């Protein structure tokens, strides 16, 4: 879709994955109405093809889809080290499935049809968490980078400092 516009590393995107075109489109509209950037995908495969660990945001993922289903897509994300928070939506009020999704690290599980505010609250929360995760990761990366710039002598001094 309009991916180019949002390619900047610092602007978060809400990824909506649902096989039902109207659901996909309406959820996209709702999220955009809240002023957020949106990308929509008809299958989990398409989504996995596009996303990478550098892009901030969150995922609204339908559970039951032909081909790769929501839970399997979540597993793929984890395997590839992509830490995007996941909000599951499902037409089936399947408690067992919800439990499995949350245990695997999903942020929440919403039953269709959902309340707009409930979805947007989860989305905002998910983006916050993602931002925090990324800030955290960036800080760690900065420390590691700075450590790399120290001379061997400076390293030694620092180790002694830490040891007291």
Which residue, 42 or 82, has its beta carbon nearer to another protein?
Answer: 42
Pick from 4, 116, 7: nearest CA to 60: 116
| Residue carrying the six token digits 């710039």 | 149
CB 2 within 8 A of CB 25: no
Name the phi and psi angles at 53, rounded to 5.
-70, -15
Among 25, 140, 154, 156, binds another protein (CB under 8 A): 25
Does 105 sit near another protein (CB under 8 A)?
no
Listed in sequence order, the residues at least 6 apart from 40 whose beta carbon sits closer than 8 Å to its beta carbon are 1, 15, 16, 17, 18, 24, 25, 27, 28
Among 50, 76, 102, 112, binds another protein (CB under 8 A): 112
Does 33 sit near another protein (CB under 8 A)?
yes
Among 53, 113, 135, 155, binds another protein (CB under 8 A): 113
Among 26, 69, 76, 133, binds another protein (CB under 8 A): 26
Does 30 sit near another protein (CB under 8 A)?
yes
Which residue, 6 or 112, has its beta carbon nearer to another protein?
Answer: 112
Ranges within 57-86 binding another protein (CB under 8 A): 66
CB 5 within 8 A of CB 29: no
Mark the segment that binds another protein (CB under 8 A) among 27-35, 42-50, 73-81, 147-155: 27-35
Among 11, 93, 155, 157, binds another protein (CB under 8 A): 93
CB 58 within 8 A of CB 84: yes
Helices (H), the chain: 21-33, 44-50, 70-79, 95-103, 116-149, 152-163
Q: Which residues bind another protein (CB under 8 A)?
A: 20, 22-23, 25-27, 29-30, 32-34, 66, 91-93, 111-116, 119
């Amino acid at each position: 879709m309009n991916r180019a516009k949002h390619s900047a590393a610092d602007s978060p995107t809400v990824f909506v994955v649902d096989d039902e075109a109207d659901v996909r489109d309406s959820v996209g509209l709702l999220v955009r109405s809240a002023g957020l950037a949106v990308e929509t995908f008809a299958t989990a495969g398409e989504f996995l093809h596009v996303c990478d660990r550098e892009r901030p945001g969150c995922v609204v993922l339908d559970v039951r889809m032909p081909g790769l289903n929501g839970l399997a897509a979540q597993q793929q994300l984890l395997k590839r080290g992509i830490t995007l928070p996941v909000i599951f939506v499902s037409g089936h009020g399947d408690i067992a499935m919800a439990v499995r999704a949350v245990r695997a690290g999903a942020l929440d599980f919403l039953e269709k049809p959902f309340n707009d505010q409930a979805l947007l609250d989860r989305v905002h929360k998910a983006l916050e968490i993602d931002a925090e995760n990324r800030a955290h990761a960036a800080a760690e990366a900065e420390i590691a980078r700075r450590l790399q710039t120290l001379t061997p002598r400076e390293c030694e001094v620092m180790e002694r400092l830490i040891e007291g």
